[in-house]
Structure 1
Amino acid sequence: MSINVSIIDQRVRKLAEDLAAEFEERLNIKGDEVRQRSTAFVFLSVKTVLDLPAEEALDCITEGGNDFGIDALHVGDVEDGEFVVTLFQGKYKKKLTGDSNFPQSGVEKVIQAIKFLFDPDSGFTTNPQLTLLIEEIRSLVRDGYIPRVRVVLCNNGLKWSDAAQQLIEGTGLPDDQIGWEHVNHDELVRLLQAAKQVDDTLRLAGKAIIEDLDYCRVLIGKIPVREIEVLFNRHGDLLLERNVRRFLGLQGNRVNQGINHTLRAAAERENFYFYNNGITLLCRKFTYNALQGENYQVRAEGLQIINGGQTCKTIQRTLAELAGADANMEKAFVLIRLYQLPSESADLIRSITFATNSQNPIDLRDLRSNDYKQKNLETAIDDLGFVYHRHRSEASLGTRDISSAIAAVAVLSVWRERPHQAKFYGREHFGKLYDTIFTDNLNGAQAIIATLLFRFAENKRRRPPDGTPDFVAYASCFLAMLMGRFLLSDLGISLYQLDHRKFNNAKSIVDQNNEVYYQRAVQMIGDAIPRLYGNQHVSLQRLAATFRRGDLLEALAQGEGGA
């Protein structure tokens, strides 16, 4: 047994024990160790590959009967008319030899699933959790958004066979929309391992500019793409610990496809330097032979890539694919900027990272973590007996822990009354919507109360009682918004009067009346939907679309006006 197989098995067993109650409640898995461990492995894969909090990773699990071989599914935010859907299938072997291929039958199931799950007009029967997610996807497709499908096949063994690969290549499915990835014990351990310092040598080509700026140093030069491949083969994603994006893959990403095309085209490779924006790296210290005039070998300590991770990963993958083609890359270079910064420059590092990445659609939460608004919220919330997490954390969050990500969704839903943007514009919560959510007037009491209301609505979505209307699966943000209105009405105050002086009273009312508020909100939305559609049958697809738009807000307003 390899050490990585052992590490993952140990973690899977612990997760199976810790999540036994969740698996029983959500998936009806009880007393079946094999199935519990298999599901725990899928959960671990989803959480690690997508870098999700535990609760969100659990929401992705669809494993069970009638799942078409889809054990987990994640729907990304809409961006530029497209959205990424990640499908997971897991195969966890009880025998821990690590030498079994991912089964061809599993590949066949996923291929069949893809062929009709993304067609809004095809009929199907799946388990309830998968049905809700699929209909949400289909409603997006009907609205004209293009799905980019990322298939992640996970096991504690080897990749699928050549025969299975031939099946994938012969599917007739569009290559520019579907990408296939294999994740096993080795890849999971690599993603899970704690950050460690990367020290290596950058072998530049031609001349470079090197300048001292106060206590910092700057190097600007060019490096052969082959050196980038070697660097990533040696260190992998450890170079991206500070990078705010995960690799998006080649398929379905226009920028990465363009990089791939340029490197593959012999006539275009020498222009790669001009086409690409380059790579930005940080290090604690770099040294070089100043007596040379060019072709420096730069020794860097504590090397990290903060911008250009997509470029690097695409170079690595493309050159690996061309390994047997004798591709001539001698004239293919990429621009690099290397900054030597003192170890105490954490704020400067975040500022540079933000500035070099903010033109791209990325998760900016970590980059906002040192903003004065976040620091003020942390202090205010702490004084009220809760803990605010400005930074992402691997630790489990308790009932008194509030992450900045959840606070953003809750505040945008409850107090800003933009529930459709709260659910479907997650990428913009710490970008374009940041100042809308985190105004200078947002205080700790408002953030906590919004979070408590949103969490209650979310728990009802995740664990719906018998007889719950179908729309509840998509309506958490809208329900929380209405619950906030009811609370302010009972308090007899405006939002701006809700502060630390009113906090204890507000929290007491929420604790006593959250179920009543929730049921009133469900009734209001149940009454508003017919005002939109009359006597028409409202399918799950249409329901999913309804909660992405603002017209439901108008229907709710009409109901209040007539009340």
Structure 2
Amino acid sequence: MKVDDLNHNAFSEHQLKPYEKRAPDFSGRFVRWFLEHIYRLEEIDADDACVDAKHDKGVDAIYVDDVSEAVFIIQAKTKTKDKAEFGDTELKEFYGTLQQFDSKKKIDEVFSETKNDKLKQTIVRTGLAAKVDSGYDVRGVFISNARANDDAKAILAKLPKIELFDAVAIANDYVDLDVDGGIKGSYYFDVSDSDVIEYDAGGAAARLFLAPALNLLKMDGIADGRLFEQNVRLALGNTKVNKGLRESIKDKGEHKNFPLYHNGINVLCRKVVSETEERIEVEDYVVVNGAQSLTSLMAEKSKITDDLKILVKLIETKGDTALSQRITTNSNNQNAIKARDLKSNHNIQQRLKAEVSAVSNDTVAYEIKQGEVNKGKAVLTNESAGLILLAMDLAQPWSCHQKYKVMDELHSDIFGRPDVTGARILGYWECFKSIESALDAIQDKHFAYYNLTKYFLAYAVVSLIRTEQAGVAMLKNMEGILTSGRLAELVEIFGSLAKSLAFDLNAEIVGEDAETFDYKNELKSPTWCKKISARLVAQYSKDVMRKKAEPIGALCLGLSVAE
């Protein structure tokens, strides 16, 4: 990502489009994008953190990390003008905002004074006051799509516990593989104090050596991210690894030991121009693994001594673009093994994969492994299928924010049943997709496009269908529906009922006390979900006109016996 990619118009067009329904303005979308791509939060957690609205006390989001026992108070200042900058005034004001949350007493005062229901609900839901009182560290995070000027950078030294993510910092932390970039030009590595190990792989030649950190910081493109443009996305943000790296840099006594516990960086170059015992000169280069290391080094440049050296793997690709891409992908393939990976070869998942392929005439790929190549097919991940089954089949929409459980402790409950076939998964998936258009009928757009709402609405529709024997039979007859070519009829029924219930849902929400109604909390409550779903079903049944136009039994009867 380039710094200019964060300019208002470009950023709105290329990055924030998917957030248009989740937030009404640029600032709200920007905060959610930041939380997901820089702080690496799940979509639901990002929405839960956001409190941006009138009377928000200068706070756009509050994220509580119970692992590191820290509270992050996040404020966004966005600019519409290209190449805009901001100064120290905004940071001074934010520092004042931060002081409102540094004690239980002050948080209680904010709660009693604010007119922002979202902020009140977040304070209650997160147990914020009690956690700060117990010793949680309160930190400020100031984010902007503009650059910080010199005054802003200078004031940071006087304002403790504020971390700045301006356009430059964000561009450095978010880098895409899809960009053909890097630095066009020459550069030399200082190897005067290191042995060089050479390895010729036929298509490429590699050299391993230790280079002084100060020498590496002379590479172009660190500040604006151009050096890393072939790297995979590095959304590490404020992680323990990144903080630990910077702490090691600050400790000058550790500089000689740095190569012992640092993985080093990978650099690709088109050509090695010249090589002596003192230096290796290259032409056209890019760092494909090590963006966080180099940006952390740059941030602590004043602390670096001559003793701090970095292990460098330099690979001369000789212009082989395909090889460069393979090296880039594999050198960054260091993700932790997840439960989904461990279940990828499970016989249940293998069976479902084959069944989905067969029932869809090989047009839908049931993805059970990360990195599968399914070009030209619609892709349904087994994790997504599990969430749909959890809401619609097991009737537990309130658990759908716990995605990590789908392929772990809930795997056998969700998938390990005779009724769960490829046809059932495909049919439910197509029905679930029709929920998206029904959400437009919900008046409160924040509630409508909160991720759990679609699972709740799907659950409510299935609950309504199950009030009729023909409806129960229809849901059990997915294979017959698919093989008879009547899937479109099923989706139409489901979508129509979803829109009807969405309209009724508006009345239920209006009836809630605005100050106490926290949909982010209620949608995770079995009691609330069951209660509201029962009311929606009852309301539908009471509507005489609707019963005449859309009798559930009649709607489902034909499909319940489809062959």
- DSSP-derived class of the 2:497 partner: helix
Aligned to 2:272: 287
Which residue, out of 488, 492, 495, partners 1:511? 495
Which residue, out of 77, 87, 112, partners 2:74? 87
Aligned to 1:106: 93
Which residue, out of 401, 410, 418, partners 1:423? 401
Which residue, out of 259, 262, 265, partners 2:245? 259
Task: From the superposition, tell whether residues 207 and 339 of structure 1 become closer, same or farther in structure 2 (CA, over 3 Å).
Answer: same
* Long gaps (5+) in structure 1: 28-38, 170-174, 364-370, 391-400, 526-537
Q: Does 1:197 align with 2:186?
A: no
The CA distance in 2 between the partners of 1:258 and 1:453, in whole Å, is 44
- DSSP-derived class of the 2:322 partner: coil
Please list, as runs of the form range in 1=range in 2, the aligned pairs for 1:353-502 lying within 5 A after superposition.
Answer: 353=331, 355-358=333-336, 410=388, 413-414=391-392, 419=397, 422-425=400-403, 444-453=426-435, 456=438, 460=442, 463=445, 477-484=455-462, 490=471, 492=473, 493-494=475-476, 497=479, 500-501=482-483
8 A Cα contact 2:232 2:329, kept in partner: no
Which residue, out of 35, 56, 67, partners 1:67? 56
Aligned to 1:366: none
| Cα distance, 1:510 vs structure 2 | 1.1
Note the alpha carbon deviations across 1:232-258, whole angstroms, 9 max, x for none. 536526505532331423xxx332232
The CA distance in 2 between the partners of 1:219 and 1:431, in whole Å, is 42
Aligned to 1:179: 163
Which residue, out of 301, 307, 322, partners 1:330? 307
8 A Cα contact 1:89 1:154, kept in partner: yes
| Cα distance, 1:463 vs structure 2 | 2.2
8 A Cα contact 1:284 1:300, kept in partner: yes
Q: CA RMSD in A?
A: 6.3
8 A Cα contact 1:64 1:127, kept in partner: yes
| Cα distance, 1:384 vs structure 2 | 11
Task: From the superposition, tell whether residues 491 and 511 of structure 1 become closer, same or farther in structure 2 (CA, over 3 Å).
Answer: farther
| Cα distance, 1:140 vs structure 2 | 11
| Cα distance, 1:432 vs structure 2 | 11
Q: Does 1:115 align with 2:105?
A: no
- DSSP-derived class of the 1:68 partner: coil
8 A Cα contact 1:191 1:237, kept in partner: no
Please list, as runs of the form range in 1=range in 2, the aligned pairs for 1:272-351 lying within 5 A after superposition.
Answer: 272-276=258-262, 278-279=263-264, 281=266, 283=268, 285-287=270-272, 289=274, 292=276, 297=280, 299=282, 301=284, 303-306=286-289, 308-319=290-301, 323=302, 327-334=304-311, 336=313, 338=315, 340=317, 342-344=320-322, 348=326
Task: From the superposition, tell whether residues 151 and 350 of structure 1 become closer, same or farther in structure 2 (CA, over 3 Å).
Answer: same
| 2:144 alignment partner AA | C
The CA distance in 2 between the partners of 1:145 and 1:373, in whole Å, is 50
Q: How many residues align?
A: 486
The CA distance in 1 between the partners of 2:204 and 2:312, in whole Å, is 20
| Cα distance, 1:305 vs structure 2 | 2.0
Which residue, out of 177, 200, 206, partners 2:194? 206
Note the alpha carbon deviations across 1:180-222, whole angstroms, 9 max, x for none. 3334899699989983421464625522333234645544333
The CA distance in 2 between the partners of 1:74 and 1:373, in whole Å, is 43
The CA distance in 2 between the partners of 1:167 and 1:11, in whole Å, is 34
Aligned to 1:248: 237
- DSSP-derived class of the 1:287 partner: strand
| Cα distance, 1:266 vs structure 2 | 1.9
| Cα distance, 1:13 vs structure 2 | 9.5
| Cα distance, 1:495 vs structure 2 | 8.6
Aligned to 2:544: none
8 A Cα contact 2:172 2:291, kept in partner: no
8 A Cα contact 2:53 2:116, kept in partner: yes
The CA distance in 2 between the partners of 1:265 and 1:455, in whole Å, is 56
| Cα distance, 1:279 vs structure 2 | 3.6
Task: From the superposition, tell whether residues 318 and 515 of structure 1 become closer, same or farther in structure 2 (CA, over 3 Å).
Answer: same
Aligned to 2:374: none
Aligned to 1:8: 7
Of 502-511 and 110-119, the range deviating more from structure 2: 110-119
- DSSP-derived class of the 2:196 partner: strand
Q: Does 1:268 align with 2:254?
A: yes
The CA distance in 1 between the partners of 2:446 and 2:28, in whole Å, is 23
- DSSP-derived class of the 2:321 partner: coil
The share of aligned pairs that are identical, in percent, is: 11
Aligned to 2:144: 154
Which residue, out of 212, 218, 233, partners 1:224? 212
TM-score after normalising by structure 2? 0.61
Task: From the superposition, tell whether residues 287 and 257 of structure 1 become closer, same or farther in structure 2 (CA, over 3 Å).
Answer: same
* Long gaps (5+) in structure 2: 342-348, 369-377, 510-514, 539-563
TM-score after normalising by structure 1? 0.61
The CA distance in 2 between the partners of 1:521 and 1:246, in whole Å, is 37
Aligned to 1:233: 222
Note the alpha carbon deviations across 1:398-437, whole angstroms, 9 max, x for none. xxx99979778656654576756642557x9899999999
Aligned to 2:372: none
